[in-house]
């Protein structure tokens, strides 16, 4: 069994779901021998809110919220398949799905394939909203100390563990991922462990003093501890970094784009081709006895969109653009800009996103070919889904944040195996349905705590609408941050929020209702209190709010006066 999740993969940009450009020919092939769920919806619009739902079939704001990943939630898919005798391998390109977030148990081979600097970023994501409230005087010193214990305090232990892992695996990693950033950054992990231990000792000596000293403002990840380890690298890595800076500046004198491409030659994330190489190796070396379960997350449709393999990816990008019918004279340097500014740049941005999807699909095709070569394709279940969608400027934003527009939440989802009755599943499917479907196909009993169902189940067929839930990025602070919710069916998308989060600079202050069946990009807000769909969809949101223990009845009644369920 192979389970692949893909970062920021929009349903409406995937040809397997009808997109006019052939972005996913290999997914189309897989869908022809399985179940293609064309109305699949993510529970929210960003990664760390979605994966607890995908992997544990639970709602993001249940169990105290999504900050703790799988911890305290129902069984993960890893636990269920491991208990059934599968050898479980996880290629963790995504730092939100690994042992640091409760996913490590029951994984036989866990490969941490993310860069060092993602860990302070992860800690700050889980601390930032609470920190902002402390700065504004809305929470006490005692409360910030308690939050720091479970985010910053735990981070130090994770960092030391990560560095030890890198040291232990270094020979294997260099052989398998020698060109990836988590290798070429060249950190001296002994020096970093020493630095982290010093921070940990200072933290536990006086937590409040540590917070006052290091978080007197709300830092970005590179402005905190990562600033101190910036130069704790091997001599060779320091020389290489210095030479790169000189070459970038010299190139910039000739052409600013040369300098930018030199800086971004290495992708921020692990190249899906490198991960695919290892999955293929695992398939070829399988002993033919114990069944295998392989999971990984392909990152290439994440900004910056860099279709192509290795440090010279941009030399390959024109090939992918041409395959999709885009002009050969597209300015590829748009990929490494912070945000498009002109209509032409927006068009290019969109084209590069499509090309990144095609590049990722190509890697999935390589895995299918490896299964065919081993003559086990017919006996292998392949599952592919996006974790959430992506915005390409439709509502003034890029990437993915806390919005619940269709482009941010509708994703491809397919289950492929020769033993499945192939066809299109047009019911409203949630990503909480993924692991119950996997276990049902494999003949493994589900967890009784899972809220999802197999995609062919009557509970899915009778589902009239789904409710999505989120905060606007940051961490979960139920009593002080506004909830962002949406209730959607096959035609309507009703987006409700208590009030606009201070970090949200783009969405309207009021509520939104879109006829997404006839207004696919959701440009015309049809909301009015008297609209006949508003009450029905509001009732769905109220029902879900009443399931969340942290939300009081008074708060719900204030938000939805006159609606009783």
- Measured in degrees and rounded to the nearest 5, phi and psi for residue 114 equal -115, 160
Residue 513 CA to chain centroid, in angstroms? 26
Q: What is the pLDDT of residue 244?
A: 61
Identify the CA nearest to 14 among candidates 401, 417, 407.
407
**pLDDT tens-digit series, residues 377-420:** 999 999 999 999 999 999 999 999 889 999 999 999 999 999 99
Residues 95 and 141: their CA atoms lie apart, in Å, by: 29
Q: What is the pLDDT of residue 470?
A: 95
Residues 531 and 513: their CA atoms lie apart, in Å, by: 9
Q: What is the pLDDT of residue 245?
A: 59
Residue 333 has which token pair?
């340097």
Q: How many residues does the chain have?
A: 565
Q: Give Cβ neighbours of residue 469 (< 8 Å, ≥ 6 apart).
A: 43, 44, 59, 60, 61, 483, 484, 485, 486, 544, 548
**In a 3-state reduction of DSSP, which class is residue 472?**
coil
Q: What is the pLDDT of residue 546?
A: 96
Residues 129 and 399: their CA atoms lie apart, in Å, by: 20
**pLDDT tens-digit series, residues 510-535:** 999 999 999 999 999 999 999 999 99
Residue 428 has which token pair?
């409203």
Identify the CA nearest to 460 among candidates 3, 10, 37, 4.
37
Q: Quickly count: other Cβ atoms within 10 Å of residue 290's Cβ.
A: 10
Write out the chain's pLDDT in tens, 565 residues. 999 999 999 999 999 999 999 999 999 999 999 999 999 999 999 999 999 999 999 999 999 999 999 999 999 999 999 999 999 999 999 999 999 999 999 999 999 999 999 999 999 999 999 999 999 999 999 999 999 999 999 999 999 999 999 999 999 999 999 989 999 999 999 999 999 999 999 999 999 999 999 999 999 888 999 999 989 998 777 766 666 656 566 655 555 665 666 666 778 899 999 999 999 999 999 999 999 999 999 999 999 999 999 888 988 999 999 999 999 888 888 888 889 999 999 999 999 999 999 999 999 999 999 999 999 999 999 999 999 999 999 999 999 988 999 999 999 999 999 999 999 999 999 999 999 999 999 999 999 999 999 999 999 999 999 999 999 988 999 999 999 999 999 999 999 999 999 989 999 999 999 999 999 999 999 999 999 999 999 999 999 999 999 999 999 999 999 887 7
Q: Could you tell me the pTM of the whole model?
A: 0.95
Q: Give Cβ neighbours of residue 517 (< 8 Å, ≥ 6 apart).
A: 490, 491, 492
Q: What is the pLDDT of residue 448?
A: 97
Q: What is the pLDDT of residue 51?
A: 98
Enter the DSSP assignment of 445: P
Residues 431 and 314: their CA atoms lie apart, in Å, by: 33
């Amino acid at each position: 069994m192979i389970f692949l999740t893909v970062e920021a993969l929009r349903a409406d940009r995937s040809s397997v779901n009808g997109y006019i450009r052939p972005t996913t020919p290999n997914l189309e092939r897989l869908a022809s021998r399985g179940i293609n769920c064309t109305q699949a919806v993510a529970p929210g619009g960003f990664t760390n809110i979605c994966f607890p739902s995908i992997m544990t079939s639970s709602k993001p704001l249940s169990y105290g919220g999504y900050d703790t990943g799988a911890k305290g939630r129902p069984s993960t898919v890893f636990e269920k398949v491991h208990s059934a005798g599968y050898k479980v391998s996880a290629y963790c390109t995504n730092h939100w799905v690994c042992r640091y977030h409760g996913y490590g148990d029951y994984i036989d081979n866990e490969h941490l394939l993310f860069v060092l600097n993602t860990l302070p970023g992860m800690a700050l994501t889980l601390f930032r909203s609470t920190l902002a409230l402390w700065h504004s005087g809305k929470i006490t010193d005692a409360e910030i100390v308690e939050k720091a214990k479970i985010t910053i305090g735990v981070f130090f232990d994770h960092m030391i563990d990560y560095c030890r892992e890198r040291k232990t695996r270094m020979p294997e990693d260099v052989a398998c991922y020698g060109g990836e950033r988590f290798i070429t950054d060249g950190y001296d992990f002994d020096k970093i462990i020493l630095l982290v231990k010093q921070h940990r000792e200072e933290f536990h000596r006086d937590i409040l003093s540590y917070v006052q000293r290091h978080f007197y403002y709300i830092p970005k990840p590179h402005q905190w501890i990562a600033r101190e380890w910036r130069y704790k690298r091997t001599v060779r890595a320091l020389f290489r970094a210095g030479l790169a800076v000189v070459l970038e500046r010299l190139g910039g004198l000739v052409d600013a784009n040369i300098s930018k491409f030199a800086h971004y030659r290495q992708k921020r994330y692990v190249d899906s081709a490198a991960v695919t190489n290892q999955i293929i190796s695992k398939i070829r070396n399988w002993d033919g006895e114990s069944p295998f379960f392989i999971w990984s997350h392909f990152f290439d449709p994440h900004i910056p969109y860099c279709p192509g393999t290795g440090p010279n990816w941009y030399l390959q990008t024109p090939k992918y653009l041409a395959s999709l019918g885009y002009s050969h004279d597209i300015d590829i340097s748009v990929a490494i800009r912070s945000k498009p500014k002109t209509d032409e740049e927006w068009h290019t941005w969109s084209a590069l996103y499509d090309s990144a999807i095609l590049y990722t699909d190509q890697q999935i095709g390589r895995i299918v070919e490896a299964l065919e070569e081993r003559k086990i394709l017919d006996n292998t279940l392949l599952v592919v889904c996006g974790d959430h969608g992506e915005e390409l400027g439709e509502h003034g934003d890029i990437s993915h944040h806390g919005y619940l527009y269709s482009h941010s939440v509708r994703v491809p989802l397919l289950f492929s195996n020769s033993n499945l009755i192939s066809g299109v599943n047009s019911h409203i499917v949630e990503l909480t349905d993924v692991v119950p479907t996997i276990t049902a196909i494999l003949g493994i009993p589900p967890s009784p705590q899972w809220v999802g169902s197999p995609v062919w189940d009557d509970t899915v067929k009778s589902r009239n609408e789904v409710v999505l839930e989120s905060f606007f990025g940051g961490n979960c602070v139920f009593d002080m941050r506004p909830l962002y919710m949406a209730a959607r069916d096959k035609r309507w998308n009703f987006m409700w929020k208590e009030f606009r989060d201070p970090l949200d600079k783009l969405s309207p202050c009021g509520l939104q209702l879109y006829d997404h069946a006839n207004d696919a990009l959701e440009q015309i807000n049809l909301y009015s209190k008297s609209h006949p769909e508003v009450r029905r969809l509001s009732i769905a949101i109220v029902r879900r709010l009443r399931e969340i223990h942290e939300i009081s009845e008074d708060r719900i009644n204030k938000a939805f006066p006159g609606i009783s369920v």
